[in-house]
A and B are shown apart, each in its own frame.
Chain A
Amino acid sequence: MTQADEAPLSEEQLSEVIARYPDRTGDVLSILERLQEMHPLNYLPKETLIRVAEAKRLALSNVFSVVTFYSFFNLCPQGRHTVTVCRGTACHTRGSNLLMNGLRAEIGGVWADGQSSYTTPDHELSVHTVACFGQCAMAPVVAVDHEIYGRMSEMKLRQRVRQLVRKESNDEDS
């Protein structure tokens, strides 16, 4: 794991978010959601989990159980760009599996069994799936860096991904 390499959130950030939800242990979901969103690499480092467990007086195993149960939470650093493919029914019937195949071919990633996401080793791109965006009328739908693209085709998606990566390398050159 590369977790240790990545800086956790600052103590101020952590206390601020935890203080926002003072009452119930039930708010642990909301706290973890906010903390993940705040992290530049969009994930929950181990230290954050320990801190939340302490603050909400929860068992460590309970916190780990929560973060591994909900698909929203990431325990590994995410890529700078995110492509999220909707695996909703409308998208499926309109060929979202072809989009996934295209992405696999494009970035050469292999999804492990039971994993809903994949991040390239250079952390440039994360590919996620989502149960449904609720944008079924525009199926198949893909979100690229949280912007929704409807009626996507495999070819268009691969072009878009290539653009992202190319743009990135151009930026680095200049």
Chain B
Amino acid sequence: MKIRDFDALNDIRETGLNKLLRGGPRIGVGMGTCGIGNGAQDVYEAIKTAMDTKGVEARIVPVGCFGYCAAEPLVNVYIPGGPLVILAHVIPDDAPYIVEEIVAGRIPVRKALCRIDAWDHLTGHVTYGHGFQEIPHWDEIPFFRGQKKIVLRNCGLINPEDIEEYIAVGGYFALCNAFQKPSRDEVIDEVQKSKLRGRGGAGYPAGMKWALLQKAVADRKYIICNADEGDPGAYMNRNEIESDPHMLLEGMLIGAYATGAAEGIVYLRAEYPLAVERLEKAAAAAREAGLLGSDILGTPFAFDFRLVEGAGAFVCGEETAMIASLEGRAGRPRPRPPFPAESGLWGKPTNINNVETWCNIPVIIACGGSSFAEIGTSNSTGTKVFSLVGKIKNTGLVEMPLGSALKDIVYGIGEGSPTGKRIKAVQTGGPSGGCIPAMHFDTPVDYESLGTLGAIMGSGGMVVMDEDNCMVDVARYFLEFTHSESCGKCVPCRMGLDESVRLLEKICNGDAEASDVEKLEELMPMIRSMSLCGLGQTAPNPVVTTLRYFRDEYEEHIRTRRCRAGVCEKLYMSPCENSCPLNMRIPAYLQLLKEDRIEEAAEIVWLDNPLPASTGRICQHPCENRCRRADEDAPVNMREVHRYIADSAFAGDLIVRVRERLLENKIPPTGRRAAVVGSGPAGLTAAFYLTMLGHDVTVFEEREEAGGMLRYALPEYRLPKRILNEEIGVLEHIGVRFMYRQSLGAGLALDSLTGEYDAVFLATGTWNETQGGITGENAPDVWHAIAFLEQVARSHRPVIGGNVVVIGGGNAAIDSARTAMRVGAKVTVAYRRERSDMPAITEEIEAAEMEGAEFVFLASPQRVVINEKGRVTGIELRRTRLGDFDASGRRTPVSTAEFFTLPCDAVIMAVGEKPDPDPLRQAGIHVRDNQTAAVHPNTGETNLRGVYAGGDLVSGASNVSSAMATGKAAAHAIDRSLTGKDNMDLVLKTFSFRNIVPAEPEGGDRNVSPVLGVGERRDSFDEVVLGFDAETALQESRRCLRCDVKEQCADREGALKEPVS
């Protein structure tokens, strides 16, 4: 039936509104490609079946995508009178429940994500209804808060295959509106007033392009919609067409009317079959309704369009290439000028705009160009749809006013990392864009600001990267992409990218030299300036931005031949080994254990980590964060296995054989002497390796026993001292000498050490407590965490009692809390941020809670309340709220006017530790502003020749394995400088074992160590975590997927052969 005039359109609007709002309950299932990929089709069928079995009278329709990909499949339910309710994560099994509830006139609240009381479609308005206040309104949940849906105005709410529903929300009324304007110029005027810029990437003003086309004189003009969304990581155009194809048609109709084009082409990627199908259906419906073809809406205006499927060439997004493609040739661009507005398709004036540009048009005509221009910033008006993907919790399509800060998108809408890992960068604009580092997340997202950072808006892809992403690899990835998509016509792009890719490959393979980066930097500006089209001109952006912001990663790949993120395959053994600060050969000891070769397993463990029993208990196990077994079920419990290996060595005479093996592997004496100051983890590690490397080593310790923080800060229940003593015994056995009560600056002078020894390693740690800066901090019952822990470690006696408040959220705070409870105190931990922000190890926080600690969050200390006798009676806290996101992606606590007091008898301040800088300064060592020692990043050498430093003294309060790693690295550097040789590999030895990747995941579920019952922990310093037995350790070792085995062939039956090498 043809729509001849405005009244007829209005009639259809009523029919459409009936479908949306009247005639009983209505269920809409989000059936975009992404929804279907997540099982929406099955959900649709299941709900249908459930309705049939129940004999329910309700309507079920497919709708488009509401954008929240992370919550798919999404289903919306509307019961007349109430709000529209969006259900999330719906699975087919939910169908009977959903239908039952609807039958009973209720909303299936169990699955509800949010509700919509009324919706502004901008071209129209729909009021659903009220009720179900317990369900949050859509704009109250983080993912939608701050979004402004213009392009996505109808997506997920209407049936994209029903033209009547599009008309119901005001569709095609903007076209009517355009027809009713006195002249076509006024349509273009509105677009110019809106200051709408092209959404495809370059941001050229759409109104200006239209005006050019309108002025061009020709017998035929074309308009083209660029829907060749080839930018990997961007999929908004697919969703826009799948969810609301008529808005694109209407936008193009208005554009054709205004510019006088009679034919339109949509160039759509063949990889989007559903978008093709829906657009074809929409066009057929529009043709039938007289909205395409001749005499549109009863006017003399004629326009039709056809759809051409692109066949997979990214360069066709370039307008002259797209024209070549439409003319039946390979999509190679040609130089401009002439611009398509002058000479385009078949030599005729042509205008090409991106999908999203066209989709904004109906709103601009309906609401007026000036009101559109009020959204966004003055130079970047309106909104932009971004696809927020990668390492982000809330993936999905996000429509934000231009000028929104990047951090609000990443941390606000996206809610940061799904795994708690540090977010490193966001890549915007795909292969033509750049990587924006976290420190620039304050940047407003608009065309100019992104340009300043070296990135571009592009099509709106936003790929979030975390610490597991290697930025050199990212640059290589994008360059490989543009290289493989380069048409090959012009030399700078064809060969410039080829050379660049090969240079980047060299870097990623560890074969590069510093001059290769120089070559890369020389090629980039040439490619940018000399290439024929946008593909080549923007291809350098990912390289240029990663070089600008992540140069250290390039340097690391070249200098140390390691890839910190564990991505560049040739530069690491396995993800676990790579993420271990000590680079423990984890797959090796797991495999040796599997092969019943525990003696060698123990040897390799000791060679890689001289404190395997201690670290087996207290390491923060970064290895687990990268374990690929986590993709199958849960990471391998690697730490517990090396603890088991070390414990079994000490339990019998295995340790004797391990010690023998270590001695056998020692380099013959070099005659060189080294002094180590401080016997914490860093000092012990340096001493171990220096000794193994053949040097004569003496350790100077301030206290009466060795171990540093391991002995004096770590509570007995986490690390029994007898274990530590055993480990130190091994060091003594291989020849390390210890001198106690030797304090640097007080009796022990650095220059006498440098006179007597060939090298000195300083690792005196962070024993100074940071002051909280509050009144009453120096009262007798106010403890600093480290001092408190040391006191208890020495005496095991209650030095504290009654009610104790611990201030802080790190490991020292939790250790203090659990220790205080063991000496009889009742403990409350107060922390200024939220629980999820606490830096302490999660298992420790959980254990503290189990043991009875209370937590108060969002509270910062103000004042210790002291009575007239000078005793502590409480602590006054100030309530904080979470403000803006900081560079780490955590919200900064902001003080409020609310104060409260926790009554208590003692306070433990655990707000951080610092080194004591005075002895360093006296010795002439450079000290940084944060009181740590300044050292060369590669060698650990200080400004004094032959004097090295490491551990917390350099890094500030850190963790055991990182501290040990600095000791290991310094020993390596000292040895190289003393001998001129590289003997570390000899010390570390090579082990051989079977290299077979399991065909299926083996070993079953992750094993966790048994623990002491909570009841038994009170008043006791007995070790809480009991460790694996032999059977469990073996079982856990079997779970390893052997990521270290990189080359292996499989025959077609799936039986695996060992590689021939």
Contacts and interface: CB of A to CB of B under 8 A. Distances in A.
Interface string B299-342: 00000000011111110000000000111111110000000000
A4 interface: no
Contacts of B332: 69
B592 interface: no
Given A93-B474, A135-B34, A148-B37, A155 B632 contact: yes
A143 B901 CA distance: 60
Given A66-B328, A93-B390, A131 B465 contact: no
Given A71-B312, A72-B270, A137 B330 contact: no
Contact of B631 (A66, A150, A153): A153
A10 interface: no
Interface stretch (A11-19, A21-29, A75-83): A21-29
Interface string B1021-1050: 000000000000000000001000011111
A76 B387 CA distance: 36
B16 interface: no
A32 to B, nearest CB: 8
Contacts of B387: 136-137
A90 interface: yes
A108 B390 CA distance: 30
Interface in B273-322: 308-314
Which applies to chain B's interface (DSSP): helix, strand, loop or mixed?
loop
A132 B463 CA distance: 13
Contacts of B272: 134
A108 B484 CA distance: 23
A126 to B, nearest CB: 15
Nearest to A165: B1052
B1054 to A, nearest CB: 4
Most B CB contacts (10 A, CB to CB) among A68, A98, A132, A150 go to A132
Interface in A121-174: 130-139, 141, 148, 150, 153-156, 158-159, 162, 165-166
B232 interface: yes
A103 to B, nearest CB: 10
Contact of B463 (A62, A89, A166): A89
A85 to B, nearest CB: 12
A53 to B, nearest CB: 11
A2 interface: no
Contacts of B330: 65-66, 68-70
Interface size class of A (residues with CB under 8 A): 35 or more
Residue from the set A62, A73, A150, A155 with the largest chain B CB neighbour count within 10 Å: A155
A137 B1050 contact: no
Interface stretch (B233-241, B245-253, B868-876): B233-241
Determine which residue in A65, A131, A148 has the highest number of CB atoms from chain B within 10 A of its CB, and name it: A131
Given A29-B309, A89-B427, A93-B391, A130 B631 contact: no
A159 B478 CA distance: 30
B481 interface: yes
A3 interface: no
Contacts of A131: 230, 232, 271, 312, 314, 481, 485
Contact of B233 (A69, A105, A136): A136
Contact of B235 (A62, A135, A153, A159): A135
A153 B629 CA distance: 10
B390 A33 contact: no
Contacts of B906: none
A89 B461 contact: yes
Contacts of B1050: 105-108, 158
B352 to A, nearest CB: 15
A47 to B, nearest CB: 20
A155 B312 contact: no
B328 A134 contact: no
Contact of A69 (B238, B331, B478, B1041): B331
Contact of B326 (A26, A150, A165): A26
Tier of interface size on chain B = 35 or more
A89 B70 contact: no
Interface string B195-237: 0000000000000000000000000000000000111111100
B312 A92 contact: no
Nearest to A148: B37
A136 B311 contact: no
Interface in B29-51: 33-34, 36-38
B271 A134 contact: yes
Nearest to A116: B484
Contacts of B1048: 105
Contact of A90 (B389, B485, B1001): B389
B835 interface: no
A24 B628 contact: no
B38 A150 contact: yes
Contacts of B36: 148
B658 to A, nearest CB: 34
Contacts of B72: 137
B70 A137 contact: yes
A33 B232 contact: no
A33 B309 contact: yes
A116 to B, nearest CB: 7
B472 to A, nearest CB: 13
Given A25-B328, A138-B37, A133 B70 contact: no
A72 B332 CA distance: 16
A71 B311 contact: yes
Nearest to B230: A131
B1000 interface: yes
Given A72-B270, A134-B33, A29 B311 contact: yes
A155 B325 CA distance: 40
Given A28-B328, A93-B469, A137-B395, A132 B313 contact: no
B697 interface: no
A56 B328 CA distance: 10
A89 B325 contact: no
A70 B632 contact: no
Interface in B358-406: 387, 389-391, 395-396
A107 B1051 CA distance: 7
Task: Among A24, A70, A108, A134, find the residue whose CB has the most chain B CB atoms closer than 10 A.
Answer: A134
A159 B1050 CA distance: 12
Contact of B390 (A68, A94, A141): A94
A166 B1054 contact: yes
Contacts of B138: none
Contacts of A45: none
B229 A69 contact: no
B390 A72 contact: no
A165 B1048 CA distance: 19
Contact of A138 (B34, B474, B477): B34
Contacts of A158: 999, 1050
B313 A71 contact: yes
Q: Which of A29, A108, A133, A148 has the most CB of B within 10 A?
A: A29
Contacts of A166: 1054
Interface string B456-479: 000001010100010000100110
B681 interface: no
A60 interface: no
22 contacts: A27-B308, A32-B311, A69-B487, A71-B312, A71-B313, A72-B311, A87-B481, A90-B232, A90-B233, A90-B389, A91-B232, A94-B390, A94-B391, A116-B484, A130-B312, A132-B232, A134-B235, A136-B390, A138-B34, A155-B631, A158-B999, A159-B1000
Query: Considering the complex of A and B, which 8 residue pairs feature the smallest CB-CB distances, nearest first?
Result: A137-B69, A134-B235, A89-B233, A70-B311, A88-B232, A69-B330, A72-B311, A71-B312
Interface of A: 24-30, 32-33, 56, 58, 62, 65-66, 68-73, 87-94, 98, 101, 105-108, 114, 116, 130-139, 141, 148, 150, 153-156, 158-159, 162, 165-166
Given A69-B313, A70-B313, A137-B387, 18 more contacts: A29-B328, A30-B308, A66-B328, A66-B330, A71-B311, A71-B313, A72-B270, A72-B311, A90-B233, A93-B474, A98-B628, A137-B395, A137-B396, A138-B38, A139-B390, A148-B36, A155-B632, A155-B1000
